[in-house]
A and B are shown apart, each in its own frame.
Chain A
Amino acid sequence: MTLRLFQSRAWTLAVLLVALSASAAALGDEITSYVPSPDDPPLYRQAPFDLVTLDKRNSGLVLKVYPLKVVGRDGNAARPKTGIVDVHLYSRPGVNLVLDLGQVVKIQFYEQMLLEQAKTLARAGQLDEAAQYLTAVRKKYPTVKSLDVTIQVFLDLDANDAREKQRYDVELTILQELHHLNANFPGLDEKMGTAIGRLIEQRVDEENYVAARGHMRQLEELFPGKSLEEVALRKKQFSDEAAVLRREADESFESGDFSRARRLAGRALVIWPDKPAQDLIEKIHARYPRVVVGVTSYYNGRQHNRFNSTAARRASRLMHRRLLELRSYGNEGGKYDSPFGEFTRNPEGTVLSFKITPGIAWADGRRTMTGHDVARRLLAMADPDRAGYRADWARLFAGVSVSGVYQVDVRLNRPHVRPDGYLDVIIDDGVIAPEQGGSGGGLAPVAGPYQPIEIEDGETRFVANAKFFREGKQHVREIVERYYRDPGKAALALRRGEISVLDRVSPADLDMLRSAGNITLETYRAPVVHCLVPNLRKPFMANRKFRRALVYGIDRAKILHEELYGSVRNKRAEQPGRVLSGPFPIGQPRIDSLGYAYDDSVKPRKYEPRLAMILAEVALQEVTKTEKDVGVEVKGIPKLVIGYPPLPTARAACQSIRQQLRGIGIDVTLHELRPGDPMQMVDKFDLLYVELAMWEPVVDARRLLGDDGLVGGGSPYLSMALRKLDKTIDWKDTRDELHAIHRIAHSDVTVIPLWQIYPTLAYRNTLKGVSKRPLLLYENVEKWQIDLDIPKE
C-alpha cells in the first residue's frame, strides 16, 4: 500500500511530522529503532542499507532504510542538511515515505559503515576480516573518501603482522603494494629495506642464491647510489665460496672425474655466476655434456611396474632396452620393433622370429647377448614357478628354439592379433630385474644406454653406459632427474634454464611455457588412463550399487575441464583429455588406432549427485544386511580412504573428488603415497588412484582386470570375457570381445573410470634430438645433444 499523503515538497514540517506520525500511526507501533543482531552476517555480506538517526523530536529513532539517493554519500561532498528525500524502510519496503532531512541528526551511509568497520577490525588485529571489508568497498564504492588512506594504513598493519610471523616474503609483497599506492608512506623505505635484508638472509640459509641475488638487486634499486654494506658483504661471501668450488671442480676435471667436476662447477655458477664460473662450465660441458630433467614423479629404484608407475615407465627406457619396443600405432594396434636385431612374424601369426645382432654386451662387459638369453626369458614367462610369469602368455606360448646362437623362433599355440605386445620385456643376463618380479637390486647391471649410479635427496643420476651396444656414443654423458613436488616450480626452473627438460607439464603452466619462446612443448603420443581402482575386499567397495554411486557422485567433466585444464586458454591445441566410460583409452580417433578396445556406444555416466545419494543409501542397507549375516554390525557408510601417487594431477583430482563425495554424504580421507613408494593397493585403501599406460589393450586388459591384475579379479562375467579374449585369433573377434569387456566393466564398475589425458613434455631449445610426439620421454635419448645453457638471472 502506498501511503503517499503528499505530492510535493512544499509541505511544512508540522504536516510532515503529522504525516510521519500518521504514517507511523498508520503502520501501528511497528516502527522500532534499528538494533543490530548478533546473528546478522558480516556487514559486507548484507544487502546495502543506510542508518538514519532522527532527532529528539522523533525520539532519536534509528531507521534502517534502503540506500538514500542523496549527494555526498561518498563523503567527497557535504550531504544536504535540509530538504526532503524519498525513503523506504527495510521493515516496510512497499511503503513509500518522505524524509525531512532537517529532522535527521546523522546518516550513516553503507559504504562508510563498511570503511569504519574495516578500520575497527584492522586496529583490533583482525586483518583477514578487515581485508574482506576493504575489498567490498574497493569493488563497489571505489570513490569513497579516505578509502585509499584506509587501505594504506591497512597494508602497513598487514605488513607488520607478516613481519611478526617472520614471513618476510609476504611482508615485502605487501610493502611493494603499499609503495605502489603511496611511495611516500612514512617509514616505508626503511621497512622495505629491512624486509629485503631478512629475505636475503633467509635465501642464503636455504641456499637459494638466485633468489638471494635477486633481493640484493632489489635493495640496490630501492636505494640507488647508496653504499650498502650488507650487499657488499654478501657479494664477497658468494664470490669467495664460488672460487673454492671452482678450484675443486678444476681438480676433479683434471683427474677425470667429470661428473663431480660438473656438479661442483654448477654449484659455483649458482652461487656466483661470474665469467670464471661460466668459462669453467663451458670447458666441462665440452667434455661432459649433462642434461638435467625435471620430473614430478620420483624414480628411486623402488618402482617397477611400468603399467601404473610413471617413474618406472620413464626410467626403464633409460636403463633397459626391450626385446620388442612399441614405436607407434598402425591400423591394428601397436607397431613394434627390436633394438637387438630383426623381428619378423610368419603370415599365420604363429611364429615370431628374432635374429639377434652379435656383440650386444651387458653393462658389466662380461658377456654378450645370445638367442639363449632370449629363449630363457620367454620360457620363464611361461613358468608359474618363476618370477615374471604371465598366465596369458603361458597359454599362448608353445615353445622356443635357438639355432646358430642368434636365431630365435618362438612358436605359438594359435594365432594372436598382437603377440608382440607380450614381448616388451627386458632380456637380462640371469639377474631378473625387479621390474619383472625378480629380487635384484634397483641398480642391477643393465644393457641400456644409461646406468643409475646415485639416488639421493630427490635427484637420481644416470651416467652413460660405456658398454652400450648401439653404435655411436651417447652424446649426453650424464642425465640427472631432479624431483619437483610443485609442478609450478618445475616450470619456472625450466624457464630459467635450471633444467633442460620437464617430463610432465602441468596444465596451469602450459600457457606460460608456450609464451617463453625458447621452449618447445610436445604432447606424448599415447594417453594415460586415469581411474580409481576399488579394493574389492572391502564390503562397500564390493557392492555394485555403491560403486555406481561413486561414479554418479563425481563430476568428472568438471574436474577435468575446469579444475585441471580450466586455466588453459587454447584447449583445443592442448587436447586436454576426455572423460571415459570404461578402463580403455579412446585414443585419438582418425589419428591413432589406440581406441580399438573402446566401445563408443557406451557413454560415460552423467554427474547425478541425488541419484548417487539414493544408490549409496540402498547400498548401505544391502551391506548392513549381508554383514549382519556374518555377525558384523554396520553403523553407516564408513569414511573412505583414497590412496594416490604424489603427482600433481592426481593430487588436484583427488582433492576435488573428496569435496564432491562429501557433498553427497560420503566422507573421504586422502592418503598421498610418498615419492618413490610403489603404486599398489594395500588393505587400508578403499580406492587407489592410478595412471595407467594402457597402450596395447588386447594385452593390457588382463594386467588391469584379470584375477592377477591390479583389480584383483572382477565379476564372473568379466572373468569369462577375458578368457574369451584369450582365445580370439582375428581382429574382428578381438575387438568384439574387448568391447564386451568394456561394456561389462562399465556395467560392473570394475574400476571407476575418470579420463584419459595426453601429457605434455617441455624442453629448452638447447636440447636436440627429442622425438616428435614420443611415447616415452627417453625414446630417442641415445641421440640427444645438448648445447650449453647457462641460466640467466
Chain B
Amino acid sequence: MPLCALLGVFAATVAQAQTIWEITPYRIAVFVALEQAPPLTPRLEQQVLRTLRQRSDRVIGAVWQLNAEAAPRKLRGPMVDDLAGISYGQLVEHWPEVDSVDKVVLLALATTLDGYRAAAREFDVRTRTWGAPIEYRFGQAPLAAGEAFRALLASFRPLAKIQSSKGNVATVQFRAGGLTPRDPNLRLVSLGDVLQPIIRRNDRQGNPLAKRGIEPIAWTYLTLAKFVGSANSSGNANSSGNEAICKVHSGRRGVLSLRYRGRTERLAIVVRPGSGATEVRLRARKSPATPLAGYDVHAAQPRSLVSLLRRHNMLSPEQIRELRQYAQQYPQRVIGDLAVAAKLITADQLTEATASFEEQEGAALADHLVQLEMASQDDMQRFLRDLAQGPEEELLRLAIHRGWLKVEQFAKLRALQSATELLGRSDDDGNFRLLPREHPLQILYIKHGDALVAKLPIVPGLQAAVVAPIVNNDQWLAAEALVVSLREALEDKMAEQKIVEHRCRLKIEKKQFSQSRDDLARLGDLLREFSDLDDQVVAGRKQLTQQGQSISQAKQRLDQNYEAMKQLLSKYQDEARIELDKLSRLQEAGEDGSGDTS
C-alpha cells in the first residue's frame, strides 16, 4: 500500500478530485424581523434586505446562495422578543420549506435603551442544530444594515464532513471548500476554530431517523490544526477552507474511530458560542440524582503550538510566515527535511532522492525513499504515523531542523500546551459555573483527591447547562486521605530518625556521652512510633479491603500505596533497630569508661 495512503491525515498531494460537497454553495435563507418602533421602518427593512443580498454577493460570492426576505408574520414577534427561544418546531410551523435550504438565519433588529441591536441566530438544517444568538449594538439607525450583515456573518457556522480519523487526529472537508469567497481577506474558518462532531443517521429517503437520527457526539470537539489540499486553498488566509486536519478532544476513547456505514454521516459544525457561562453539573454516573460536591475542576485550553510560539517570542512572525509558506509550497520537501531531522535518512540521501523525484499528483517522496531503499517500509510507516498524530508540530519540527528552535523549547511548549489551571471546586449541589476564557474550548479535568475521574471538553456559552455523569469516588476519598497522612507521617519520621541518628553519632564521636542520652531516647520513641504507624497501615489496609468492589482501580491504587508503605516500614524498622542498638552500646561503653567530654 502506498505510504501516502497512511497520510489520510497528513496529506501529501497537491490536487485532489473535487467532490460535489466541496463545490456546492450553501443555500441560505435569511429572515429579517424589525421591532415595531418608529426608527425601524419598512423602508429600513427593505434597505437591510437589499444590503444583505448585495454584500453577500460582493463579499461571500459563490460560497453562499443567499435569499433574504422579511420573516413570516408570526415569527416576527418571537424573533424580536426571544430569538434564543425559537425552536425548530416553530420554524417549521411558520416556514415548512426549511429542508429546501442548508441554513436558516433569523435576524432581528430592535431598539435598546441607548440605541439599537442586531441579533442573528443560525439554524443548520443538516444537523438540525441552532447556533447561539450573536448580537451587535449600535447607536444610529442608518448603521442597521451594516450591523445586520455583520451579525449574519458572525452567526454563520461552516459545516464539514469527517473524512477519516485516527488516534486523536481527524480530517474534515468543508462544505463549499472548493469555492473561494469574493473578499480575499475573508476567513470563514480559521486555525484554532472549534467544531462539534455530529452523527446523522438517515433513512432510505435521506431523512434523519426518528430515533437517534441526529446526535452530537458527547464530550467531543475538534480544533482546526492545519489546512491541506488544493492549489485553490491558501490556508486560513483567503479561503473558506477545504480539507483540514483537526485535533480531536474527547472525554471518551475512539469515538470517531467507530465504524459508521451506509446512510450514516459524520459531520462537524463550527461552533460560535455566546459570551455567557455554562453551568457544569457533576452527577454520579450510576446514580444520576446524586450531585458530586467538592470535586476539583482543572482546565486546559487547547492553544495551538504556533500561538504559544508567538506568545513566548520563540520565533518571529517572519520566521513563522516563512515556514508556513515553505510547508504550503513544498509539502514533499517538508517530509524529506523532517526525515533527515528524525535521522531516518541523511542529508545526502535526501539530496539524491529529491534529484530523482518527480513531483506529480499522487507521488510521495516517502514512497520514493523506500523504493530507493534509503529507509525501510516499517521505519517510514512509523515515522509518518508519528507525524500524523501531531499535525501542528510540523512547523516546529521544521524550525528545529533549521536551528531556529531548540529541542528544550519544543518540550517547554508542549508542557505549556497541556498545562492545566485549577478553576475551582463543584459546590454542594455538584455544580460549577464555567466562564468563557481566551480559547472557546476548555478541556476540564475533574479530580477528586489524587484521582482523575473525568476529562470533559466543553465550550462555555454553547449551552446554559450541561450534566456530566462521572465516577463517584467519594468512598475512596477518605481512604486516600488516610493513606496520604500515613505516608507523610512516615516520610517525616524517617527523615527525623536519620537526623537524630546522625546527631547522636556525632556526640558519641566527640565523647559527649551524657548529652547523647536524649537522642537515644528519641530514637527509641521513634521506633515505637514506627510500630504504631505499622499498626495503622495494617488497620487502614484491612478497612480498605472491606470497602467497595475489589476490582476498583482506585482501590487497587490505594492498596499499592499501603503495600509500599508496609515494605518500607518493615525494612526501615529493622535498620533503625540495629542502629539504635549499636549506638546504645557505644554510649554505654563510653559512659562506663571515661572521657565523657560533655
Residues of A participating in the B interface, judged by any CB pair closer than 8 Å: 391, 395, 544, 548, 552, 605, 608, 610-611, 614-615, 628-631, 707, 713, 715-717, 719-721, 723, 743-744, 747
Contact = CB atoms under 8 A, between A and B. Distances in A.
Interface stretch (B22-30, B232-240, B488-496): B488-496
B477 interface: yes
A611 B484 contact: no
A608 B499 contact: yes
Contact of B295 (A605, A611, A716, A721): A716
Nearest to B311: A631
B478 A717 contact: yes
Contacts of A611: 492, 495-496, 499
Given A391-B428, A723-B293, A723-B294, A717 B412 contact: no
A548 B474 contact: no
A630 B312 CA distance: 12
A747 B485 contact: yes
A719 B449 CA distance: 10
Given A548-B492, A608-B499, A631-B416, A717 B481 contact: yes
Interface in B477-516: 477-478, 480-481, 484-485, 488-489, 492, 495-496, 499
The residue among A552, A611, A723 with the most chain B CB atoms within 10 A of its own CB is A611
- Interface centre among B293, B419, B481, B489, by most chain A C-beta atoms within 10 angstroms, is B481
B491 to A, nearest CB: 9
A60 to B, nearest CB: 40
A148 B477 CA distance: 75
Contacts of A721: 478
A720 B496 contact: no
Interface of A is mostly: helix
22 contacts: A548-B492, A611-B492, A611-B495, A611-B496, A611-B499, A629-B419, A630-B415, A630-B416, A631-B415, A631-B416, A707-B427, A713-B425, A715-B449, A716-B449, A717-B478, A717-B484, A720-B474, A720-B478, A743-B485, A744-B485, A747-B481, A747-B489
A740 to B, nearest CB: 8
B488 A719 contact: no
B118 to A, nearest CB: 33
Interface of B: 293-296, 312, 412, 415-416, 419, 421, 425, 427-428, 447-449, 474, 477-478, 480-481, 484-485, 488-489, 492, 495-496, 499
A615 B496 CA distance: 11
A391 B294 CA distance: 14
A611 B495 CA distance: 6
A547 to B, nearest CB: 11
For the complex of A and B, 4 pairs with smallest distance between CB atoms: A747-B485, A717-B481, A719-B294, A630-B419
A608 B496 contact: yes
B306 to A, nearest CB: 16
Nearest to B474: A720
B412 A631 contact: yes
Contact of A717 (B415, B419, B477): B477
Contacts of B485: 743-744, 747
Contacts of B478: 717, 720-721
Contacts of A747: 481, 484-485, 488-489
Contact of A629 (B415, B477, B481, B484): B415
Contacts of B425: 707, 713, 716, 719
Contacts of B312: 631
Contacts of A723: 293-294, 428
A713 B496 CA distance: 30
Contact of A720 (B294, B412, B419, B489): B294
A630 B448 CA distance: 22
A614 B496 CA distance: 10
B474 to A, nearest CB: 7
Contact of B477 (A608, A713, A720): A720
A460 B251 CA distance: 61
B379 to A, nearest CB: 32
Contact of A716 (B415, B419, B477, B499): B477
B496 A744 contact: no
A395 B428 CA distance: 10
A688 to B, nearest CB: 21
Contact of A610 (B416, B421, B489, B499): B499
Contacts of B448: 716
Nearest to A608: B496
A687 B173 CA distance: 56
A744 B478 CA distance: 10
A717 B449 contact: yes
Given A713-B425, A744-B485, 15 more contacts: A544-B488, A608-B496, A611-B492, A614-B499, A630-B421, A707-B425, A707-B427, A716-B296, A716-B425, A716-B477, A717-B484, A719-B294, A719-B425, A720-B477, A747-B484
Contacts of A608: 496, 499
A605 B412 CA distance: 39
A615 B495 contact: yes
Contacts of B481: 715, 717, 744, 747
A565 to B, nearest CB: 24
